[in-house]
Amino acid sequence: MRIKDLLSPGSIELNAAAESKADVIKKMVDLMEKRGNLLDRAGYEKGVFAREEESTTGIGEGIAIPHCKSAAVASPGLAAMVLRDGVDYDALDGEKVDLIFLIAAPNTADNVHLDVLSRLSMLLMDEDFQKDLRAAATPEDFLAVIDEAESRRVESEEKEPDEPAGGIEVAAVTACPTGIAHTYMAAEALEKAAMEAGIRIKVETRGSGGVKNLLTEEEIAQAKGIITACDAKVPMERFDGKRVLDVRVADGIHKADQLLETILNGDVPPYHAGSREKDSEAQPAEAGGVGHQIYTHLMSGVSHMLPFVIGGGILTALAFLLDTLMGYGDIGSAFGSATPLSALLKYIGGLAMGLMVPVLAGYIAYSIADRPGLAVGFVGGLLASGGNALAADYAWSGQNAFMDFVRRFAFVADGGGNTVSGFLGGIAAGFLAGFVVLGLKKLTEKLPDALDGIRPTLIYPLCGILIVGLLMCFLLNPLIGLINTGLSNMLAMIADSGMLWLLGLILGAMMAIDMGGPINKAAYVFGTGVLATASELVASGASTSDPKVTACYIAMAAIMVGGMVPPVGIALACWFFPKKFTAAERETKISNIVMGCAFITEGAIPFAAADPLHVIPCTMVGAGVAGLLSALFGCTLMAPHGGIFVFATVGNPLLYILAWLAGSAVTCLMLGMLKKDAAKG
């Protein structure tokens, strides 16, 4: 079967226009229905959108190949469209898509669409072919371009491949989760780059249609190195002892020449079976750069943490909303728990959000050390989020120097200081746990084979949890505690000096540095402390307009507006600068708006964890601007939490909203200027 057998002039639209990815897919389905290939249009369209949810079919360079195999299809078919102005399609390279092929295939065992799609995918790697398709004046011209290119491809496929003189220099494997377009495009890109560089290569493809061009033991032995451009599980034991460059399938498509240069230069360590085994649940890490490996491990943690942030944050916001609707917007620290239902929502939401840091740390460690790292990372994350919160008044306290050392550094008595290290501590704990487990694997690899069974079930969790726990309790958390104490003292000194504008600037910025971590908590605890001071002053006869009381309320207002900026600023950036964020990140826009409105700063944590060097400075500056403006405007707040739900208690509310929006706009603009495009890492 040929491409021309599946595509007709009636299913080709040139000079088309579409407003969004969803819009263009619906128009493509209309073309397919017009061709007469569908039994159930709605069912087929649903299948196409479901396939997009698995991973984008926007493969880059302005091309998308949406597809669906379904019982809603009567016979296999193709539709094609050229969009003169392009459309945002969540493509791998972040660019607009203007050349689209839609494939429909019946739910039969012959997989006819896979062979056609693989050939079409490989043809689309030719820039001249792309250019000719975009320049076609009529559907008939479009078909003629395809027919000519496919004929050349079929002719070359039918020829017996020549054995490379002297054997192969590089072996490669390509695979993607669905085993369709990306698999074959990566193979084509590698073969094309090798031909241009005069490199002898053989590429094994592992697609939905099965394994093709299987590498033999002799070819693997001949090769100077192996490239595995895969996002799916492939057999790796056969490469034991060879230099293996393990990258994403997208890199095989877009960085083929770089990969070949790297593998031939010998800049890749030998692979040892079991050390980097691909797992169907884990994405491959690129061996070519430490920075990318760090990013990959971070994103593993962030992607698993995101549902806890969104679900828990919105439940907490609903608790605040319910109390506001019931008339309990001014009850102080009990806000959000004034009714049984709101208290339940806040409790459930709080539990979910309490799992954010442990999940972040656990899955960073999992990405580094596979399943043995998961438990160790979770415990490290729990210690980061909970701190060393144990009472110290034991009977043995003070008996000797060692016990006193333990008491002083590993335990915190009531009121003895905050040692919560937050999401930054969770990141550190995740990496620490992962590398501790890798170290344990290395140390125990020469144990007798009879003990292999107890390594992952006893040695790794017992020793790993103990080592990470001790390092968190005696090093990281106490260090955070010292920093926290110093910050609190600094804030008190600024407040005593009467420099409210500076206090507002610093408090706002502190709320956006670590979003729930020690710096954020130091600012928030300071705010609740000054609210308590204001209450004491009022109780002793002072007026609410007394300068000392007003200063307390101004500090609390700066804290809350600073905490409301990061989620909203990031959400705005997702709208105005979509290329800076992944598709998954852009989908959180609405939830981040909700959490920002509810003063749930933690909505920004996944973004900060994924790209701390760019995101944190942007959120910090924006929140600092909001806090500064709030203080300069003389905005006051008597409630310790609640966001927009307690704006009725805010002094100068319109100026307060202006400060909030200004800070959010600053964060948005800075992200647009400083953050790299998501596709470029």
Catalytic residue among 67, 182, 254, 641: 67
Residue of 528, 368, 500 lying closest to 439 (CA atoms): 368
511's tokens: 């709320």
Residue of 350, 662, 306 lying closest to 508 (CA atoms): 662
Residue of 516, 676, 515, 679 lying closest to 611 (CA atoms): 676
Query: Is residue 588 packed enough to be buried (19+ CB in 10 Å), middle (13-18) or exposed (0-12)?
Result: buried
Is 67 an annotated catalytic residue? yes
The runs of H, that is alpha helices, within 326-421 are 340-354, 356-369, 372-386, 401-410
Measured from the Cβ of residue 239, the count of other Cβ atoms closer than 10 Å reads 24
Residues 148 and 133: their CA atoms lie apart, in Å, by 12
Render pLDDT for 612-667 as a digit per residue (tens, 0 to 9): 889 999 999 999 999 999 999 999 887 777 788 778 778 889 999 999 999 999 99
Residues 28 and 239: their CA atoms lie apart, in Å, by 43
Which pLDDT score, from 0 to 100, does residue 627 have?
Answer: 95
Give span(s): CATH 3.40.50.2300, the chain: 170-288
- 384, 429 Cβ separation under 8 angstroms: yes
274: pLDDT strictly greater than 80:
no
Render pLDDT for 85-127 as a digit per residue (tens, 0 to 9): 899 988 877 789 999 999 887 776 556 556 776 778 788 888 8
280's tokens: 């169907």
Which pLDDT score, from 0 to 100, does residue 283 have?
Answer: 39
Q: Which has the minimum average pLDDT: 167-171, 562-566, 613-617?
A: 167-171
What is residue 547's three-state secondary structure?
A: helix
496: pLDDT strictly greater than 70:
yes
Please compute the mean of the pLDDT values over residues 537-562 and round it to a whole number: 82
Please compute the mean of the pLDDT values over residues 586-613 and round it to a whole number: 86
- pLDDT category at 278 given cuts 50, 70, 90 is very low
What is the 3-state secondary structure of 567-624? HHHHHHHHHHCHHHCCHHHHCCHHHHHHHHHCCCHHHHHHHHHHCHHHHHHHHHHHHH
Please compute the mean of the pLDDT values over residues 507-526 and round it to a whole number: 80
Catalytic residue among 68, 113, 176, 182: 176
Sheet order of strands, 210-212 included: 210-212, 201-207, 170-175, 225-230, 244-247
Residues 634 and 557: their CA atoms lie apart, in Å, by 9
User: What is 3-110+130-158's CATH topology?
Assistant: Mannitol-specific EII; Chain A (3.40.930)
**172 φ, ψ to 5°?**
-145, 155
CATH class of domain segment(s) 170-288: alpha beta
Looking at the chain, the whole-number percentage of residues with pLDDT higher than 70 is: 82
Residues 421 and 436: their CA atoms lie apart, in Å, by 19
**Regarding beta strands 63-64 and 58-60, do their DSSP bridges make them parallel or antiparallel, or are they unpaired?**
antiparallel
Which pLDDT score, from 0 to 100, does residue 288 have?
Answer: 39
174: pLDDT strictly greater than 80:
yes
- 251, 262 Cβ separation under 8 angstroms: no
- 280, 227 Cβ separation under 8 angstroms: no
Is 176 an annotated catalytic residue? yes
Give span(s): CATH 3.40.930.10, the chain: 3-110+130-158
Which pLDDT score, from 0 to 100, does residue 665 have?
Answer: 96
Residues 184 and 613: their CA atoms lie apart, in Å, by 36
Measured from the Cβ of residue 408, the count of other Cβ atoms closer than 10 Å reads 13
Q: Which has the minimum average pLDDT: 266-280, 446-460, 559-573?
A: 266-280
